[in-house]
Amino acid sequence: MHIAIIGAGISGLLSALELTEQGCSVAIFDQQSAGKAASWAGGGILSPMYPWRYPQAVNDLAKHGKSLYQAWNAKLKPISAIDFEIHETGMLIFDEDDFEIGLNYAAKYQEPMQRCEYLQHEQLEQINPRVSEQLKQAIYFPQIANVRNPRLLKSIIAYLKQHPNVQFFENTWIDHFQIQAHKIQSVRTPCGQSFEADQFVIATGAWSEHWSNQLHLSIPVEPVQGQMLLFKTPENWLPTMCMNEVMYLIPRADGHIVCGSSMNHLGFDKRPSTQTQQNIYKASLAMVPELSDFPVVKQWAGLRPSSPTGIPYIGKMPNLENLWANFGHYRNGLCMGPASAQLLRQLMLQQPLIVEPAAYDPVRLMQTGHANGGINPSSIP
């Protein structure tokens, strides 16, 4: 089976991995270089931030992220020579209003990785002595890890580019489907190039609304800008990830600390703003004041594929025999990515399923308007 995947972010790349492992041949298209959009820009926390604030369907995919990335890293690293750097730091959350629900969440939803403990000031100092004296208590999730997403993407791309059944078409914008008798015959570029395949996958992230008109669907996916800062400290300087009021610090093993993030509805504008940088900087120092001793070495912004409830669209697109979806992951594309791709592969190849697929069914796109069941995407952390 020959499959064309439109989009080379984490969703498209992991979908390609899953399908090539089953003997499929894959062509991957992206409007720019592979792995350079939201997937590169994110923080790489292998859990939703405050998972209890999300629909269970998000967590049903996200809970597999860490173990599946560990398995992929073991398989790809000998060939790509790039380590994903899955960093077992644990996470401290300082939001007191979330303590009770956070402490009960793991037992209620049978999610062992989300087990946490309440820490008072003395215990908190032992776990992470860098935390501000103003933060007297926290809940601590020892099993939550982060992945160094730029390295993750480089490893997957390197592996796929050497694979005999994979072709990459970078800097190739696909803007049109050739449809005949409820079936995609080929995809086309603006300059008239045409590419045929047996099956087609939309994995175009924040750009997915582009397909609404041609497919006569309402695709309520839009870009939401998130801005980040990067500090450089000594190796292993900050022992844990930290979270407070939707702002986070993510330490890498080499001493880089990723700090974020913002949420701004600015269309496809990825330019960082000075004011947002200052807000993130202040929030970072409020958690770990000593960060003021170290340089900010980089700032950037990415575009999240906002969807109404944060539940992605995964499965066969309505009214077409051979068009599939894997998009709309909003803030959790990295942690949902491995299970999302596995579910897509299982649906496409009619195999046993990792999760019940109804919640992700793109048939939702046939509903009129952009109804979202009363949940405002801006309210999702």
Q: What pLDDT does 374 receive? A: 34
Determine whether 77 is exposed, middle or buried from the number of CB atoms within 10 Å of its CB (0-12, 13-18, 19+): middle
- Would you say residue 379 has pLDDT above 90? no
- Would you say residue 148 has pLDDT above 90? yes
Cβ neighbours for 45, distance < 8 A, ≥ 6 positions apart: 91, 144, 146, 241, 248, 250, 334, 335
Amino acid at 325: A
Q: Which residue has the tokens 């897509």?
A: 344
Across residues 47-58, what is the average pLDDT?
A: 95
Give dist(CA 143, CA 90) in Å, integer.
5
| Confidence category of residue 373, pLDDT binned at 50, 70, 90 | very low
- Would you say residue 79 has pLDDT above 90? yes
Percent of the chain predicted with pLDDT > 90: 90
- Would you say residue 297 has pLDDT above 50? yes
Closest CA to 338 of 90, 32, 76, 31: 76
Q: What pLDDT does 366 receive? A: 86
Write phi, then psi, for 78 (nearest 5 degrees). -60, -25
- Would you say residue 368 has pLDDT above 50? no
| Confidence category of residue 210, pLDDT binned at 50, 70, 90 | very high
Contact 209, 219 (CB under 8 A): yes
Q: Which residue has the tokens 């974020």?
A: 260
Query: Crossing angle of helices 10-20/333-348, nearest 10°?
Result: 40
How is residue 195 written in tokens?
A: 């590419």
Q: What pLDDT does 309 receive? A: 94
- Would you say residue 378 has pLDDT above 70? no
The answer to whether the peptide bond before residue 284 is cis (omega within 30 degrees of 0) is no
Give dist(CA 206, CA 308) in Å, integer.
13
**pLDDT per residue as tens digits for the range 226-244:** 999 999 999 999 999 999 9
- Domains in the chain (CATH in brackets) are 1-86+144-220+307-381 (3.50.50.60)
Closest CA to 111 of 119, 101, 120: 101
- Would you say residue 57 has pLDDT above 70? yes
Give dist(CA 107, CA 115) in Å, integer.
8
Q: Write down the pTM of the prediction.
A: 0.94
Angle subtended at Cα 135 by Cα 89 and Cα 132, rounded to the nearest 5 degrees: 70
**pLDDT per residue as tens digits for the range 339-355:** 999 999 999 999 999 99
Give dist(CA 263, CA 304) in Å, integer.
9
**pLDDT per residue as tens digits for the range 242-271:** 999 999 999 999 999 999 989 999 999 989
